Amino acid sequence: MENLDFILRTQNGVGLSDSSSSAGESGCGEILATPNLRVYSFSDLKSATKGFKPEVILGVGGFGTVYKGWVDETTLSPSRFGSGMVVAIKRLNRESVQGFKEWQGVSATDTLSWDLRLKIAIDSAKGLAFLHTSEKQVIYRDFKASNILLDEVRSYTIKPQINLIEWAKPLLPRKRGLKLVMDARIEGQYSSKAATLTAKLTLHCLEQEPNNRPSMKEVVEVLEKIKAMK
């Protein structure tokens, strides 16, 4: 793993690339025996990011530099600049301890099942509903995935490099778009009706006009209905 240089994030999973030569060209051998990982060559990533040009840099951190890139929505192969699905490509700093630890976290992350994800959503919604309907109503302004503690050692975190709402909202109303949003790793664990109703609830919660959004009590009711679907 000493030659690992890149992490590519899509909504369906993670791709890795390793550099086996000083020029940075990648071999195409398997890095891990994991079906959810795809190996990209250096030239693939270079093509997806327009040659790692400065204008596609999203940010720089202790792990290295993050670039914006594009891949085909179906094949996940590099696509034309500005066309296809947006991805974040992290070019790791070889001397960065943070970068190596992040790679370990990405490659070793457990996949949460559909049932567990739904349970997290229901329990979270119940907590917010309680705050909103208590005698002294409380509006919790810092509610986000990374603040949901699952157990003593793990919190429910996501690290999007793009705005998830802007990316997902136009996809949710369409059947094909919804398939792109759903995590491919849990395909078969839920019914199409459950996925469709979840998408409708999400869009309802994202209404531009606040008064048109459901209350958290209503959100709980719909989530419980989804849970009962087989």
Any catalytic annotation for residue 142? yes
> What is the three-class DSSP state of 97?
helix
**Cα–Cα nearest to 70, from 59, 81, 62:** 81
CB atoms within 10 A of CB 151: 6
Q: Considering only CA atoms, which of 24, 36, 212, 181 is closest in space to residue 8? A: 36
Q: Is 46 annotated as a binding residue?
A: no
Report the distance separating Cα 172 and Cα 202, nearest Å.
8
Helix axes 192-205, 216-228, angle to 10 degrees: 170
- Count of Cβ atoms closer than 10 Å to residue 7 Cβ: 22
Tokens 């919804």 belong to 178
* Residue 225 CA, distance from chain mean position: 25
Catalytic residue among 44, 115, 142, 151: 142
Distance in angstroms (rounded) separating the CA atoms of residues 84 and 71: 6
* Angle, helices 216-228/114-133, rounded to nearest 10 degrees: 150
Residue pair 150/156 in contact by the 8 Å Cβ criterion: yes
Binding residues for ATP: 90
Catalytic residue list: 142
Binding residues: 90
